[in-house]
Every structure is written in structure tokens, then in C-alpha cells.
Amino acid sequence: MIELDVEYDRPQRAFLVGRTEDRSAEDRTVVSELASLAKTAGYLVSGSLVLRRYEPAPRYGMGSGKASEIVEAARACEADEILFDFEISPTQQRNWETLSEMTCRDRQEVIIQIFAARAMTREAVLQVELARLEYALPRLAHTYTALSRQRGGRYGTKGAGETQLELDRRAISARIAQIKHELSQVRKERATQRKRREKVPVPTCAIVGYTNVGKSSLLNALTGAGVLSEDKLFATLDPTTRRFTLPTGRTILMTDTVGFIRNLPHSLVDAFHATLEEAAFADSVLILVDACDPFMEVQLKTTLDVLREVGAESRPSLIVINKADKIDEFTRARFRSDYPDMLMISAKTGEGFDVLAHRLDILLAGDIHSYLLPHQRTDLLAFAHREGSVIVTRYTEEGIELTARTSGRLESVLREFETDATHTD
């Protein structure tokens, strides 16, 4: 009987290296997010080390003594790979792998690994491949280290491995150009779809937030979308849009977007622009935060920073604290005191959904405006009742005087058919 080698199927063990200037912070707190990324990527975390005093050096990004200490600690934990919570250059990566005789990756490569495993649609696959190739291009040289040492001929001739290296560089550059062209076509298709949606005057709301705060769970709970929702980072990468009917009868389109994360690589921000732009073009933005995460404030700041990067910071927004079912009364009271304008909900139990729907209705209704509409355009009045919030309606000799909360397409349509100059209250 043949015995299977259990070690062969075990997950890769990873040793984590973090960095902080806060000397009071606990090691596990500093590397907690990297640990979550590693577990999501399929690693088994075997140990960690946090740099408290950081003195940049070109060879390893730190002193050689500290580098040797990290390698020894990784070996003592029987790690297979070393993962860094900060960016290391291609040259530093090659030096680390030579020193440790292990695979060494930085935070950016781990995130790309996760995205590659989760991408499902053509758009997401293209975006991930683009990010992966742009990350790999400057790191090609260390793949040919052995060949580049084979020198021959007179002074100044190229190494034996450089011909293949240049061929691969050209092939990758050509593939990057091709992917960018394909993504431009995808963005055109998305723009066409968006124009079709704009013809049907239904307001849109993008659900954004840090990864794993419960965006997909909220969309499922509100609309029955059936989107994959797991307790993992980046469980969904592709935007999903579903209809949601507010208590007033108004219909809105809610879109679940890709999760944000601290220090999201700029290559991924660029690569996922077509996905993130759903937030930039939405009529409103629902910002979700995790009530039971100790870094809630940092996550909220990261979300606001990414929204600023994609040009969505000016959109009407509502900040919502999710997972209220997991916190005690003391924490609830602190949130009410510290964040009086925020809502507390639970996508799991449905707590706070009534208030959320009411606040969304007000958010999408917009500011109070006054209009003077033609007598015969009662259809516009019905449109205002359906998509806005009508406050006063008066029939006069000049036309229909309408005061209502309006925004976006509703406001522009009503302005277009006004019969006289109006004012905004």
C-alpha cells in the first residue's frame, strides 16, 4: 500500500514582516491585516516580526543585520515564504531570495494573488492580468539570474541570458498594450450600459467600503441579489447591480463594488478603474464601515481617500456602521456619541433597515427646489412624486408651482420643462 506524503499537501507557511513607528502597538495588531491577506491567499501564518526602528538601506531595505535576523526567525518557524507588509523593490526582492533561499513577496504581490484567484468575469480577469504583468515586468531580471552570469566573448558583449530576457520583456509589453486596448473597449461597453440606464430615470446608489465590511451581505439582504459573501478579504471583485424599492415606492439601483484596502497598490487602482468608476458615476454613495473592527477609523479614512482618487468625493453620501449585532451596548453608546450622524445596522439581522431606507430616500431626493411647470405636463408632476419628494403643489394661472426635493436626472428634466424663471430655496 502506498502511503501519501502529508507534507506535500500542506499549505505554504508564511513568515510576516511588518513595520510601524508606534512603539506601543502590539505585533499582532501591526500585521493583522497582512495576516488576513495571507490567509485569504491560502497561506498558513507560521510567525511574524515587526520593525520598530526603520533605517532604509538599498540592499534589503534595511540593515544586513536585521535582514539576517528576519531570515533566521523565518527558518526557525519552518516558513516557506517571507511576506512583507510594505513594498520592496525588484532588486531588494532578488537580494532577499538569495539571502533566505525562500520565495519573498511584498504586500502588493499578495493582493494581486488574491485578485487573480477571485476574478471571474472577462473584465476582472483582464484587470488582474494587467496588474500582474505591470508588477512582474521590472522583476523579470531575477528570473534569469543564473543565465546572466554566463559571460563570453569580448568586453561589452551581452550576457547569454539577456536575449531571452529581452524577448520576454517585449512579449509582456505587447500583452500589456493589448489588455489596455481590450479594457478600453470594456469601458466603452460599460459607458453604453450606463447611458441606457440614464434613459430610464432610476437613481443609483453605490455601496462602497473597506474589504470584508459586509457590502455583498447588505446588497443580498436588501435586494436578494445572491452575491457571494464570505468572511474573507475581496470575496467579490465584480460590481453587481440590483433594484431596491424604498418604502415611498421609489425604485433605486444599488451596486456592490470591489472592497478597498489600506495601501492599495496604485497599479490596482488604475487596473480597477472601470469597476471603481461605478462609485464616481452613482447618484449617491453608501459608505459601509465595520462596527467590530478595531481599525474602523483607519478603514473609513482609506475609503474616503480612494473615493477621492476616483473622483467620487463630491457625491451625496451616507456613512453606515454595519455588524451592529456583534457589539455591546457600551460600544453602541460610544458610537452614538462619537458619530451622531452615522446609522447603525446589521446586514445579518436586518436591524436599522427601516431607518436606512428612509435616509436613502432623503439622500436621493436631494435639496429643496421650486419649479413652474406647464399645465399640460402632469406627467412631470407624477414623475416628481415617483422619483423625488414633493412638498407643495399649487395650480396657478402661470402653471403648476412645484416645491420638492430633487436631484440628478429628475432635477435636470424638471428644469428643462420650466415655463418661467424659478429659484432654489
Supply the pLDDT for residue 305. Answer: 84
Beta bridge partners of 82: 15, 104
| Residue closest to 282 by CA, chosen among 185, 360, 186 | 360
The SS3 assignment for 400 reads: strand
| Residue closest to 97 by CA, chosen among 74, 76, 113 | 74
Supply the pLDDT for residue 275. Answer: 62
pLDDT, mean over the chain: 80
DSSP 338-396: H-TT-EE--TTT-TTHHHHHHHHHHHHH-EEEEEEE-TT-HHHHHHHHHHSEEEEEEE-
Please tell me which residue, 259 or 101, carries the higher pLDDT value. 101
Per-residue pLDDT at 81 exceeds 80: yes
| Residue closest to 16 by CA, chosen among 27, 7, 24 | 27
> What's the average model confidence in pLDDT over 165-176?
85
Supply the pLDDT for residue 177. Answer: 92
Band (pLDDT 50/70/90 cuts) for residue 154 is very low
Band (pLDDT 50/70/90 cuts) for residue 44 is very high
The SS3 assignment for 210 reads: strand
* 303 within 8 A of 264, measured Cβ to Cβ: no
Q: Which CATH superfamily does the domain covering 202-364 fall into?
A: P-loop containing nucleotide triphosphate hydrolases (3.40.50.300)
Encoded amino acid at 52, one letter: R
Band (pLDDT 50/70/90 cuts) for residue 234 is low
Supply the pLDDT for residue 383. Answer: 81
Supply the pLDDT for residue 271. Answer: 59
> What's the average model confidence in pLDDT over 100-113?
90
DSSP annotation of 2: P
Supply the pLDDT for residue 104. Answer: 93
Q: Give the pLDDT confidence of 238-263 residue by residue, as tens digits.
A: 667 888 888 877 788 888 877 777 76
Measured CA angle at 363 (ends 307, 372), to 5 deg: 125
The SS3 assignment for 287 reads: strand
Please tell me which residue, 228 or 115, carries the higher pLDDT value. 115
Band (pLDDT 50/70/90 cuts) for residue 145 is very low
Would 6-112 and 202-364 be classified into the same CATH topology?
yes
Please tell me which residue, 79 or 193, carries the higher pLDDT value. 79
Q: Give the pLDDT confidence of 411-421 residue by residue, as tens digits.
A: 778 877 775 44
Helix (H) or strand (E) holding 401: strand 400-406
Q: Is the pTM of this model over 0.75?
A: no
Supply the pLDDT for residue 242. Answer: 85
Helix (H) or strand (E) holding 113: helix 107-118
CA torsion sign for 87, 92, 97, 99 is negative
Q: Give the pLDDT confidence of 390-410 residue by residue, as tens digits.
A: 888 888 888 888 888 776 667
Band (pLDDT 50/70/90 cuts) for residue 345 is very high
Per-residue pLDDT at 148 exceeds 60: no
> What's the average model confidence in pLDDT over 79-97?
92
Helix runs in 137-265, H state only? 145-148, 162-199, 215-223
Cell numbers found for residue 187: 469601458
Supply the pLDDT for residue 226. Answer: 62
> What's the average model confidence in pLDDT over 314-338?
89
Supply the pLDDT for residue 371. Answer: 86
Cell numbers found for residue 72: 533566521
Which CATH class, in words, describes the domain spanning 6-112?
Answer: alpha beta
Band (pLDDT 50/70/90 cuts) for residue 369 is confident
Write down the domain spans for the chain: 6-112, 119-151+158-184, 202-364, 366-416
Per-residue pLDDT at 56 exceeds 50: yes
Low-confidence winner among 125-129, 141-145, 168-172, 181-185 (lowest mean pLDDT): 141-145
| Residue closest to 258 by CA, chosen among 381, 131, 397 | 131
* 206 within 8 A of 257, measured Cβ to Cβ: yes
Per-residue pLDDT at 83 exceeds 90: yes
Supply the pLDDT for residue 7. Answer: 47
> What's the average model confidence in pLDDT over 143-162?
44
Per-residue pLDDT at 47 exceeds 90: yes
Under the phi-then-psi rule, with left for phi > 0, alpha for psi from -120 to 50, and beta for the rest, what region is 263? left
Q: Hey, which of 129-143, 253-267, 271-285, 312-326 has the most confident mean pLDDT?
A: 312-326
Supply the pLDDT for residue 2. Answer: 41
Supply the pLDDT for residue 419. Answer: 55
Supply the pLDDT for residue 408. Answer: 65
**How remote is the C-alpha of 288 from its chain's centroid?**
12
Supply the pLDDT for residue 102. Answer: 93
